[in-house]
Amino acid sequence: MPQAILASIALLVTAGATLALGQGIRVVIDSGFVTGSTTDMGSSLIIFVGVIAVLVVGTCVRLYTVSWIGERVSADIRLAVFEHLIHMHPGFFQDNAPSEIQSRITTDTTLLQTVIGSSVSIALRNILMFVGGMILLVITEPRLSLIVLAAVPFVVLPIVFVGRQVRTLSRSSQDRLADVGSRASESFRHIKIVQAFNHQRQDFQGFASVVERALRIAMQRIRQRALLVGIVMSLVFGAIALLLLAGNDAVASGSTKPGELAAFIFYAFIVAGSVGAISEVWSDLQRAAGATERLVELLAARPAIEDGGESELAPWPQRSLEVEALSFSYPSRPEISVLNALSFAIAPGEMVAVVGPSGAGKSTLFDLLQRFYDPDSGCIRLGGQPIDQYKLSSLRGAFGFVPQDSVLFSGTLRENLTYGKPDVSDTALRAALEQANAIEFVDALPRGLETPVGEDGGGFSGGQRQRLAIARALIARPSILLLDEATSALDAQSEQSIRETIEALKGEMTILVIAHRLSTVRQADRILVLEAGQLIAVGPHEELVSNNDLYARFAEIQFAA
């Protein structure tokens, strides 16, 4: 990119200008101070000022371009990681806490931005200065330069050895910082529960424990860094002391001019300063290496759900839903069978209710229909074709999902409602709100559809969020509507309105509903009764009450008015 080329040129120019200052000092001393010539002194100073001007301009350009590159790289990494993770299967986020991932995307990339925008530039500049300074040392005074060359191995070895320890500690430090963010996020996201149980003190103690662990790791890293800098400075300035002693003898004997000695000492300090700067930023580079490892782990993660190749679904009249011998266990609990040889078929336009005790596999069935997970065995067909042959975007576009815990995102109400269909018309949007019995409270809002929605929709009641979630699903006009206890938080009037909407939609779309209310269940054409992941009964309400003991107990207890 142009910025990288410009930064490289500026880096070379500034390093060259800095090294040229040594020759400027030699000329000023030998041609001006020693000879006493005013003309030579003036010419030397003009050249000296010109070199400084080049150094100043080059430094400004280098700082700007390198900082720009750091910010750009950081932003690109954030985008790449987010784009990769947003397509990962939901099981990935059970094994990797979202709050920890958030820490990696923010703190780790910020660290990389700092290192790339500052430390890398400093390191490259000082490497150039070190190499150039060593060359000029040898050219200026070959005999004295042997002292510097002899000291190089003793300086490099501590940088390499201690640097490895700093890298390991840096990785641990970033992990512990992620723990800090996770602990704080969990407490703040569930602040009502924390305060309802008066758990603030315990949460603070737990947070303090995590912070202290992070601090201990950070202090170990800081001690290693301080040790490294101390060792390097001692060795470097010890070598300079020997140089000064040997240089004094060389000037006294007449074998070296004062200007040459001054230039030699200048380059010696350049080399010493370069080594010192490299030793300081080396730990930053190791920290960046640790952060990069964490980000690479995220980018290297492969989704467990592979996309199919077919993008066209069967025409609506042929979009039957067939589940054949479906068995599934969650990867985190492979010994527990959530679904076991489940089989049923649903015709287009049919409404089917799914009932059963908690843990029967009802919500898991919805997850498998949308391919958030793939079954261990068995098959799901949509329109006669296995769903794993469809592209995920096409398959999931056929479903409209309303979860029990309705989720709203930050943004405006309009953005939330048009989440699955951004180009929907205002007429269709308002029609969906009316169907969901949400138009009245939406119109009552001062800003209407442009009302900002806080995180998780905290400004709306549970019933309002549920109605908005139903409207969002209806706006997308899906082929199959999945309702996971979608009326649980509604009052009687709103529930009646939603039941009427569902009744009107029967025949227009397939409706599959997880229900615990008698009114919703009786509305269905058929009822599937699940127990321990198995289908134990199928039929209408009246038939199941008479023929199935589990359903009869549900009807008596859970479905009671």
Task: List the catalytic residues.
Answer: 485
Q: Bridge partners of 346? A: 321
What is 367-434 written as a DSSP string?
A: HHHTTSS--SEEEEEETTEEGGGB-HHHHHHTEEEE-SS----SEEHHHHHTSS-TT--HHHHHHHHH
Confirm if 420 and 472 have CB atoms less than 8 A apart: yes
Backbone angles phi, psi at 367, to 5 degrees: -60, -40
Nearest Cα to Cα of residue 422 among 468, 475, 480: 475
Tokens representing 314? 């069967």
d(CA 139, CA 143): 10
Identify the burial level of 109 via C-beta atoms within 10 angstroms of its C-beta, where 0-12 means exposed, 13-18 middle and 19 or more buried. buried
The DSSP code for 25 is H
d(CA 201, CA 465): 32
Distance of CA 105 to the CA centre of its chain: 3
Q: Is the dihedral of CA 195, 201, 204, 205 positive or negative?
A: negative
Dihedral, CA of residue 521, residue 527, residue 531 and residue 535, to nearest 10: -170
| Straight-line distance from the first to the last Cα atom of the chain, in angstroms, rounded to the nearest whole number | 69
- Residue reference for tokens 């002693």: 245
Among left, alpha and beta (phi > 0; psi -120 to 50; other), residue 371 is left
